[in-house]
Amino acid sequence: MTDYSKMSEDQFRQMVRDFISENLPPEMAARWKKMYHPYKPDVVWWTSKLNEVGWSVPGWPVEYGGPDWTIAQRHIFEEEVFLAGCPALSPQGLTLVGPVICHYGTPEQKDFHLPKIRSGEIMWAQGFSEPNAGSDLAALQCRAVRDGDEYVVNGQKIWTSEAHYSEWVFMLVRTSTEGKKQAGISFLLIDLDTPGITIRPIISIDGGHELNEVFFEDVRVPASNLVGEENKGWTYAKELLAEERTFSAEVKRHKGQLRRIKNIARETKIRGRPLIEDPHFQRRLAQLEIEVLAHEATLWRVVAEEEAGILGAAPTPSILKVRGTELVQRLGALMIEALEEAGLPYYAEHDYFLTEPADPPGRPDAYGVSSDFMFRRSLTIYGGSNEVQRNIIAGQLLRN
Ligand SMILES: Cc1cc2nc3c(=O)[nH]c(=O)nc-3n(C[C@H](O)[C@H](O)[C@H](O)COP(=O)(O)OP(=O)(O)OC[C@H]3O[C@@H](n4cnc5c(N)ncnc54)[C@H](O)[C@@H]3O)c2cc1C
């Protein structure tokens, strides 16, 4: 096995670049660079390719197949694969439920699930949110009642990303109504083919189908699919949500957006001159670029602190999330403006996960920009809304 700890950051970056140039099919990169949402066959293929060298699960413990990278190496990898146009991997299995199974799963759960998650053979959905339990997640009502060797599940989940093409869902379910609401929640793994499950699409503002409502009616789940102890699910879920401390900073996306804005602004002509030469546009672009650089510097400072084990009391993950997601939205808005009338909404990606996208007519560099802009409104909502993050920042800073 390669010893990555002996590599400099430059050597590591070069190794990742070499791997990508040798293995990534150009047509796959072309699809993703146009901001198509990931196309499932691409995602599955690329996950299995990365798995061949042990790179599909950078955050997992080594004994379960993780490559033992430093946090800095993980960030370098994320940036390189994103900017090269590699299909975005589905995070639910690889970065959310996978580590929970590594830490709390039974030997049988580990043997059955971990290899299939690592290789991309099985896709997962996350069944946490409900119509009346989003920011206040512990208010969830979906019930699982023990009946012999099974749980019987009844209730509803909502905003369940990718459920329509996933094979399994990991769920938070209510197993007790006694005591504090957090103390009656369990973590259950459910095969989405089980009778009694209905998945209905939610078409989002970008015209696409990523989100779903999932209904459970007397769904019988083997009790052996419980992760850890009954009524301890809240603890595991909190760990899962805290797992990715710095990975919502979005710097890789900012860099891709800046690159694309500049390319677009070279093509857009204002009174016969490229927009990129317009001083007013240049000022606005420079302002955003400076903010991205400052944000990146903050990210690397936090990574260095995290690696040195000296992460302070400051709510840095929340700060990185708020700042990073808002910058994505502002860069997206400038990209739309740079396209002029070609930036008007155009939805061609209705079933993007399951249908190979075709090029639409019109300005080629405009494709996907408006639908991506619309979809990324959601960045400030999911993963803990930015208002809630601001509460955390204020609470921690005012307390200290
Ligand atoms: C694109 C997308 C994908 C998603 N994927 C998944 C998924 O795969 N699985 C899953 O389980 N969930 C998923 N979610 C759901 C997501 O986790 C929730 O949308 C999020 O937790 C917010 O909950 P909510 O939508 O119920 O809004 P609410 O919690 O009802 O919030 C509504 C508004 O009130 C504000 N608010 C709420 N509480 C406070 C407070 N205490 N102080 C100040 N303001 C507050 C919020 O910021 C928001 O603006 C997804 C959401 C989106 C948009």
Would you state the pLDDT for residue 176?
Answer: 97
Least confident of 121-130, 301-310, 382-391: 301-310
DSSP string, 36-58: PPPPHHHHHHHHHHHHHTT-S-T
More confident residue, 200 or 316: 200
The owner of tokens 């759960």 is: 109
What one-letter code names the amino acid at 328? V
Domain boundary assignment for the chain: 4-89, 124-237, 251-399
Query: Ligand 1 centre from 246 Cα, in Å?
Result: 20
Q: Please give the CATH superfamily to which domain 124-237 belongs.
A: Butyryl-CoA Dehydrogenase, subunit A, domain 2 (2.40.110.10)
Is there an atom of ligand 1 within 6 Å of 104 CB?
no
- Per-residue pLDDT of 219-262, as tens digits, reads 999 999 999 999 999 999 988 876 666 778 999 999 999 999 99
Instruction: Give the C-alpha separation, 142 to 151, whole Å.
Output: 12
Give the pLDDT band of residue 311 (cuts 50, 70, 90): low
Is 326 in the active site?
Answer: no
- Testing ligand 1's pocket by substitution, the residue of 90, 92, 126, 129 carrying the most ligand atoms inside 8 A of its CB is 129
Give the pLDDT band of residue 152 (cuts 50, 70, 90): very high
Query: Ligand 1 centre from 322 Cα, in Å?
Result: 14
Instruction: Give the C-alpha separation, 195 to 279, whole Å.
Output: 62
Q: Which atom of ligand 1 is nearest to the CA of 131?
A: 26
Dmax over CA atoms of the chain, in Å, equals: 76
- Per-residue pLDDT of 172-188, as tens digits, reads 999 999 999 999 999 99
Would you state the pLDDT for residue 1?
Answer: 72
Mean pLDDT of 274-293: 97
Q: Which of 79, 162, 244, 250 is catalytic?
A: 244
Is there an atom of ligand 1 within 6 Å of 394 CB?
no
- For 251-399, CATH gives 1.20.140.10
Instruction: Give the C-alpha separation, 128 to 173, whole Å.
Output: 8
- Per-residue pLDDT of 376-388, as tens digits, reads 999 999 988 999 9
